[in-house]
Structure 1
Amino acid sequence: MIGLDQIKSQLKAFFIEVGELTYFTKRFFIEVVKRPFEMKEFLRQCYHMGNRSLLLVGITGFIIGLVLTLQTRPTLMEFGAVSWMPSMVSISIVREVGPIITALVCAGRIGSGIGAELGSMRVTEQIDAMEVSGTNPFKFLVATRVLAVTLMLPLLVLFGDAIALFGSFLVENIKGNVSFMLYFNKVFDALEFGDILPATIKSFFFGLAIGIVGCYKGFYCKKGTAGVGKAANSAVVLTSLLLFIIDFIAVFVTDIFYDL
């Protein structure tokens, strides 16, 4: 059985980590607006995190579109509502499925990569060497990566949504002989600006969470190779939990605005 002292120690460790993560986030917002701006490193990170994630996000989005349509079509056929398939799939993907699945995929690829990269730099004392040489490692390593993920994730979400809708169209074209023009006319008739804007805004917060947690775990990695693995693993776990919390808050706030 878990003793009272163990529960207290776990709660204490939890609140300490929350405080340290909050301070880390505050420091990011301070450093990101200070000169000099590391534009070259920022652009390199945008390419590394954005362009190199396109294939994985595209494959994931394509499979989501296929599976969602294949699973839903028989049920809609029972109720004679198969004509609503493009509208239902497009709203589901754009509002919820596309952003959260893309964010989780990027948390696994980008978040763990950042944690492992910065963790190995901490273990091999490269970060300490940067501090001794007068370079600001937080600005060069952390601010550029967090900002790159924050800006790239909404673009990856839009790309994943488009591929998912194309996958859904292929199923409808094969199963129901629906043309490309007819399918996407129904898609754009169903979508409104109020569907796309909240999903895009919360994608920025998803990217911020992935970048902050990955950099935090790697920047304060414990010594040893085991610490690098733990940093990468805990970055993915904590980021995934934060993504669901942010998604719940975003949906709750959006629902309030819809009711007004």
Structure 2
Amino acid sequence: MRIFYHLGRYTLFLKRVFGKPEKHHIFLKQIVREIDKLGIDSLGIVIIISVFMGAVITLQTAYNIDMPIIPKYTVGLAARDSILLEFSSTIVGLILAGKVGSNIASEIGTMRVTEQIDALEIMGINPAGYLVLPKVIAFVFIIPVLVIISMGVGITGGFLAGSMTGEVPAPEYIYGIQFAFQPFYIIYALIKAVVFGFIISTISAYWGYYVQGGALEVGKASTKAVVSSSIQILLFNLILTQLLLA
């Protein structure tokens, strides 16, 4: 029953979030600030994870198909498809659910327990729209950019790992990442990124917005936000894969 309770309250929360913004110039300024805080600050961890992710995928593929009858360019092909279809969208989404999701939940939760949200309501301002909507728009806008960067960095990491270890010659790897390329794979990954960005930002804001108590409850809300976002990402990953690739 609690699932239906939270689902109903989450729906009402979204209705408040997407209400009319208070002042457009302030609203746009907040979006730019949130893009910097939620997106640009996450660039470092995305690059680090993507480099090692691409390197590990390439080496594992090379070690597991080390057969004379299988051409070496297959490693590049497999690494490319793995990175484009799954790792740069889903894995990066899960990582950002931990980093960005906990940040959003703790920030809004702290404002709730310190009665800053109550003060906004007293002044006649819609707190959900004022605080949450800029975060949602900013993150939905910036996460596809992070995913594209992750794709390029991951493929480059695989190239460096294959070349430096000698497992995959550079010409073979380059031929593999170009072989039978499907542009729709990138569109598929970006669609998933937008959905994941919406899930992370709204669910995390929801748990922070309705927190009650003190600092301990804010920490619990952050944990619930990360766990809930991660579960929903995995669920919608399955749904979108079935809808878009079946």
Alignment of 1:105-144 (within 5 A): 105-144=95-134
Q: Which residue of structure 2 aligns with residue 39 of structure 1?
A: 28
Describe the superposition over 1:78-100 as per-residue Cα deviations: whole angstroms up to 9, x where unpaired.
Answer: 35422211111101110111100
The separation in 1 between residues aligned to 2:211 and 2:241, in whole angstroms, is 33
The separation in 2 between residues aligned to 1:50 and 1:185, in whole angstroms, is 33
Structure 1 residues 63, 192: closer, same or farther in 2, change over 3 A?
A: same
The separation in 1 between residues aligned to 2:181 and 2:92, in whole angstroms, is 20
1:220 aligns with 2:220: no
**SS of residue paired to 1:192:** coil
Instruction: Between 127-136 and 56-65, report the one with greater CA deviation.
Output: 127-136
The separation in 2 between residues aligned to 1:167 and 1:208, in whole angstroms, is 28
- Contact 1:153/1:203, CA 8 A, preserved across alignment: yes
Match of 2:44 among 50, 55, 61: 55
Q: Which amino acid aligns with 2:59?
A: L
Alignment of 1:224-239 (within 5 A): 224-239=214-229
**SS of residue paired to 1:222:** coil
Alignment of 1:1-260 (within 5 A): 12-28=1-17, 30-31=18-19, 34=21, 36-37=23-24, 38-78=27-67, 80-81=69-70, 82-174=72-164, 175-176=166-167, 178-179=169-170, 183-256=173-246
Structure 1 residues 53, 68: closer, same or farther in 2, change over 3 A?
A: same
Instruction: Between 238-247 and 83-92, report the one with greater CA deviation.
Output: 83-92
**SS of residue paired to 1:77:** coil
Query: Structure 1: where are the runs of 5+ without partners?
Result: 1-11
The separation in 1 between residues aligned to 2:167 and 2:112, in whole angstroms, is 56
CA RMSD of aligned residues (A): 1.6
Structure 1 residues 209, 182: closer, same or farther in 2, change over 3 A?
A: same
Q: Which residue of structure 2 aligns with residue 5 of structure 1?
A: none
- Contact 1:114/1:218, CA 8 A, preserved across alignment: yes
Q: Which residue of structure 2 aligns with residue 4 of structure 1?
A: none
The separation in 1 between residues aligned to 2:60 and 2:108, in whole angstroms, is 41
The separation in 2 between residues aligned to 1:36 and 1:191, in whole angstroms, is 46
- Contact 2:73/2:172, CA 8 A, preserved across alignment: no
The separation in 2 between residues aligned to 1:239 and 1:213, in whole angstroms, is 6
Displaced runs of 4+ in structure 1, greater than 4 A? none
The separation in 1 between residues aligned to 2:56 and 2:168, in whole angstroms, is 18
> Structure 1 length as normaliser, TM-score?
0.88
Query: Structure 2: where are the runs of 5+ without partners?
Result: none
Q: Could you tell me the percent identity over the aligned residues?
A: 31
The separation in 2 between residues aligned to 1:73 and 1:183, in whole angstroms, is 11
The separation in 1 between residues aligned to 2:186 and 2:66, in whole angstroms, is 28
